[in-house]
Amino acid sequence: MAAPALALDGVGKGFSDGRRYLPVLENFDLAVAPGEVVAVCGPSGSGKSTLLNLIAGLLAVDDGRLTLREGDMVHPMHGLAPAARAAVRRRLVGYVFQFFNLVPTLNVLENVRLPLALNRRDDLAPRALERLEALGLGDVLHAFPDTLSGGERQRVAIARAVAHEPAIVLADEPTGNLDPGNSDRVAGLLFSEVERLNCAMVIATHSEAIARRADRIVELDC
Amino acid sequence: MRLVALGFARFFARTPWTTLTALLGVSLGVASTVAVHLISLSVAGSLEANRAPHLGGLTHLAERRGATMSDYFELRRRWRGGELPDVLGLVPMVDGRIVAGGRRFHVSGADWLALYGLPGEGRGGGAGSRPGSIVVDAGLLIAEGDRLRLGGEEWPVAGVVDSGVGDGLFADIGDALHILNAPPETLSRVGVAARDPWARLRSWLEALLPGLSAALPEGPAELRFSSGGTSGATGNANVAPADWELRPVSFEQPGARFANSILFNLGALGTLALLVAWFLIYQVSVLWVRRQSPVLESLSVLGASRRELGGCFLLAVASLGALATLVGTVAGVLLAELLSEISTAGLEAAPVPEMSSEVVAKALISGVGIAAVGGWMAFRRWGRPVSRSLFTAGRLISCALALATIAVGVGMEETGLAGGFAAILAAALLTVSLVGPLLRAARRLAVAAPGGLLTRLAVREATWFEDDVGTALGALVLAVATSVGVGLMVDSFKIDFERMLAQRLAHDFYVESPGGNLSAMTRSFAEARPQARSQAYGNLRTRIDGRIVEVGHTDFSRAEAARYGHGAALLPDEGLASESLLRALNVDIGETVDAGGAPVRIAGAFSDFGGVVPRLLMQNETAARHFGVLHFTGLGVSGISRSALEDRLAAVAPGAGVRQRDRARARALEIFDRSFAITNALTLLALTVAVVGLYNAMMGLRLNRLATRELLASLGLTAAENRHIELVRALGLGLLAVLLALPLGLAMGAILCGVINPRAFGWSVAMSLPASALALPVALGFAAAVIAAVAPSPAERVHAS
């Protein structure tokens, strides 16, 4: 196996409600190779979203080691300050949410160019435009999110997640808010984009159909 | 429904920062109302205490050439016979001038018994002129308890009032006749207490806010003073066709109208913070309703009626208003004391009155009222589509009404102060109603905003969320515009005032001797100090067309006349009129007035800011011809040292005071600044409430942008980039506020300078556009937006990364 794009080694994370500490992940290990897709399944509250947020550096790990790799460069995320984690995240991670999460004040093209602007990678803009065309969004480039359908919005979200060609794509229930027809189409596009970029993907899902398309399934228990 | 109400209460508790800012905003609004009311009561108390005692309870004065006491008795017989139905009482009065102990006195006497029992009698703060004692004007510099020897007898001074007459001495009519050495048949005028058709409204308005009744006409517009019909009214002067000439008693008290106008202006400005607070509570309620919308919808599905839900919401909001009232009332008392301290700068002033049930009720109505009305209006919007159209019938009608109010209020002088302030209010509401359309227009422009993607995002966010920021932006527009308008007025006024001081204070020193005659000293100077330049000034009081007018006289050479803006030396029988005199007598330059029984041609006009009594200036010779003996009370001296001047004074005019020009100027400016301290404080208070409102709106905006912020965080947005977005958005909002506030502020300034000032005080102020008056409020507007945007909201904070 090639050096993993992402590695979690004995990671623990929990939350406190002010009176007691509630562990969500304990001593959790995971390694995902470039080009590999891992589906994370489990009931609500099992820690799927927490795992994704830890990988993205939106949350800090309590215990263990978490590293992201970019070519030969290894980025340990554990012990980093929020700003340092944000700097790694903006370059290495693409995130797709369940509820589309487009910036309402930016149009389709601008939403997709946002990660390029943050990474100062305007050289990738022509390729991002191509992907938008390929995703069937060529006619709505200057439309604002509130005028798009759910399927269109999620396709924009996918285009944005891969625009800066990240090492890892994280998808949190990316089809959870779509009808079955759109769900299949969006999932197909997401998988094909990840394959095209040969990046790692961790996808949290309740959908057996999507989980079956992954290279590996990780089950989380409550 | 108890559970629903409990749910709302818990919602407030779970959004403590939003609730606290709403509480703070409404509390500040209530505090401003309470403070202004208490200060106004204090000023009104001083005013009442200084009312000339012989005028208490009177509304008019009736005069007839050659009238005697027999005429008064005849008039009284007709009144008692029912011929004068609108008259409540008649009081015989005498007045005249005497010189005693080297001082001049204007003696006024009224029948104390006839005054007794009239409505408003005794409003002279206990300084009434009872038989056997006298009351004197503060201008005479005589203390209460002193004794004066007049007409061969000693008279105890029972009280001192600042009636504006200057050398007034008030006594019972019998005593006045004795002091004047006049025959018992003498009668100067008859005081009339008439039924005031505005009495109830006047008293209601005064209870609402002291000074507010200044917006009403002075006394009865028309008075039936003869059985033959109504008198013909000319403005406020009522002329009885039969044989008596009637004038409003306010002619005798120019200072009272002046002070009432100040109170009215203060009250109008004081309500501003309350209006801004109303915007705040409305905006907070809109936010709460929107955030509670899913709950409301669930409850609606469960069968709760709109009325029940609305009732519970209003109960919760009104409870918040009640709490704010409590906090605001206590803060208002403290604020009143602070403002009183600022405006008097440690000088003796009437104490701030104790809290009364009236003030508490007003605070409660303000706090709970605006909370309930704001909450109700916000709740009304829930579940109903909001029209975004610029041209709805309601909007067009509102605009037409606002424009009509502005046109009538500004164009028709008869609408008085109320008309002027209604025009300002209409202009403000009209401008605030433009916030929504402006945001929509700006939204279209923001799509093509230049700059980086994050800057564009921030610029668009400033215009995108009308529901979140529209109301708060309106409040900020109002506060900044008021700051611009009031600032323009005060600065323009100050520029005129400084110009006037520079013109008038031409000599190095000014010698004042109110009781003495300085003409001898002038001669003495001319002989002993040929290098010194001196000029003697005299003044006296007379009546022109029934009004008290101060006549100033000196050697009006070309240079002296130039200080009053007149290009040539005054000719015999020519005069310069103060702007307030022209307005009071309704005359223009070139016309003549009857002064001292002979005509004086008005050759020019001058501004006389701060002069309560209308003035007419003339050559010494003209004054001597019209009024007899001249009386010099002031001397301007240049080309001599202070010590030499004081040595000379000790020899010829012991007791005279010397003021240095620079000190006199500094003192005048200090008084000017202090006069506007309360105005500035109230404007600042309104701006503070606006900042709180915008901060609250920003907090709501942050909460509504939670998903966007999470997304931006997932893209690796740093805290610095997030601050950049917040800052650019705040500057965008500040720019929008300033864009609307500047024209409104300029309009407010123009109305204050050109409409309110002439109507309130009789002088117009040439509006200047000093950079400071514009720059400071504009900077404050931007600062308010930035403070509101970047201030942390600990309890409901959302982290960027």
Residues B6 and B82 in one domain: no
C-alpha to C-alpha distance for B432 and B438, rounded to whole angstroms: 10
Residue B798 distance to chain A (closest CA, Å): 13
The tokens describing A15, both together, are: 């939350």
Q: Is residue B64 part of a domain?
A: yes
Residues B277 and B147 in one domain: no
pLDDT of residue B798: 34
Domain boundary, last residue among B371, B386, B401: B386
Domain boundary, last residue among B655, B686, B714: B655
∠ at Cα B53 (B50, B54), nearest 5°? Answer: 145
Which residue out of A58, A96, A105 would a mutagenesis test of the B interface target, given it has the greatest number of B Cβ atoms within 10 Å? A105
Residue A106 distance to chain B (closest CA, Å): 7
C-alpha to C-alpha distance for A53 and B350, rounded to whole angstroms: 67
Residues B695 and B761 in one domain: yes
CB contact B464 to A (< 8 Å): yes
All structural domains of chain A: 6-219 (3.40.50.300)
Residue B732 distance to chain A (closest CA, Å): 14
Residue B167 has pLDDT above 70, yes or no: yes
Q: Is residue B408 part of a domain?
A: no
The tokens describing B292, both together, are: 């509670």
Residues B294 and B310 in one domain: yes
Which residues are B150's β-sheet partners? B153
Q: Is residue B741 part of a domain?
A: yes
Name which of A83, A101, A107 is nearest B711 (Cβ-Cβ): A101
Which residue out of B447, B701, B704, B711 would a mutagenesis test of the A interface target, given it has the greatest number of A Cβ atoms within 10 Å? B711
Q: What would the mean pLDDT of B527-534 be, rounded to a whole number?
A: 71
For B605-633, the pLDDT digits (tens) are: 988 776 667 899 999 999 999 888 777 77
The tokens describing B585, both together, are: 């007598």
B134-146 burial: b if 16+ Cβ within 10 Å, else e: bbbbbbbebeeee
Residues B247 and B149 in one domain: yes
CB contact B347 to A (< 8 Å): no
B150-181 burial: b if 16+ Cβ within 10 Å, else e: bbeeebebbbbbbbbbbbbbbbbbebbbbbbe
Instruction: Work out the end-to-end distance of chain B between its first and last CA atoms, rounded to an integer number of angstroms.
Output: 41
For B342-357, the pLDDT digits (tens) are: 766 544 555 666 777 7
Residue B418 distance to chain A (closest CA, Å): 45
E strands present in B122-243:
134-137, 147-150, 153-161, 168-172, 189-194, 232-234, 237-239
Q: Is residue B567 part of a domain?
A: yes
B718–A103 C-beta distance less than 8 A? no
CB contact B714 to A (< 8 Å): yes
Q: Is residue B789 part of a domain?
A: yes
Domain boundary, last residue among B347, B370, B386: B386
Highest mean pLDDT, choosing among A1-15, A48-62, B644-658: A48-62
A106–B460 C-beta distance less than 8 A? yes
Q: Quick one: closest CA in B to A107, which residue?
A: B447
Band the pLDDT of A167: cuts 50, 70, 90. Answer: very high
Q: Is residue B763 part of a domain?
A: yes
CA A6, chain centre distance (Å): 12
pLDDT of residue B603: 95
For A124-148, the pLDDT digits (tens) are: 889 889 889 988 899 999 999 989 9
Using alpha carbons, select from B24, B29, B74, B104 the residue that is nearest to residue B628.
B104
The more confidently predicted of residues B32 and B348 is B32
Which residue out of B705, B714, B724, B725 would a mutagenesis test of the A interface target, given it has the greatest number of A Cβ atoms within 10 Å? B714
Residues B44 and B135 in one domain: no
pLDDT of residue B302: 74
C-alpha to C-alpha distance for A74 and A63, rounded to whole angstroms: 19
Rg from Cα positions in chain B: 31
B452–A106 C-beta distance less than 8 A? no
pLDDT of residue B390: 65
Averaged pLDDT score across all residues of chain B: 79
Residues B33 and B99 in one domain: no
CB-CB contact of A83 with B719 (8 Å): yes
Residue B238 has pLDDT above 60, yes or no: no
Residues B99 and B67 in one domain: yes
Q: Quick one: closest CA in A to B460, which residue?
A: A105
Residue B706 distance to chain A (closest CA, Å): 10
For B563-611, the pLDDT digits (tens) are: 888 989 999 999 999 988 888 888 999 999 998 888 999 999 988 776 6
For B374-421, the pLDDT digits (tens) are: 888 888 877 776 666 666 788 889 899 999 999 999 999 888 878 888
Residues B67 and B44 in one domain: no
What Å distances lie between residue B339 and B361, B401, B424, B454, B520, CA to CA? 22, 36, 25, 45, 46
Q: Is residue B778 part of a domain?
A: yes
Residues B59 and B45 in one domain: no
CB contact B712 to A (< 8 Å): yes
Residue B325 sits in which domain range? 1-50+264-386
CB contact B718 to A (< 8 Å): yes
Residues B360 and B442 in one domain: no
pLDDT of residue B641: 82
Name which of A56, A86, A103 is nearest B718 (Cβ-Cβ): A86
pLDDT of residue B239: 36
Q: Is residue B351 part of a domain?
A: yes
For B635-649, the pLDDT digits (tens) are: 888 888 888 887 777
Residues B116 and B238 in one domain: yes
Amino acid at B504: R
B708–A104 C-beta distance less than 8 A? yes
**Structural domain tally of chain B?**
4
Which residues are B578's β-sheet partners? B606
pLDDT of residue A28: 93
Q: Quick one: closest CA in A to B444, which residue?
A: A105
Name which of B457, B707, B716 is nearest A105 (Cβ-Cβ): B457
B712–A106 C-beta distance less than 8 A? no
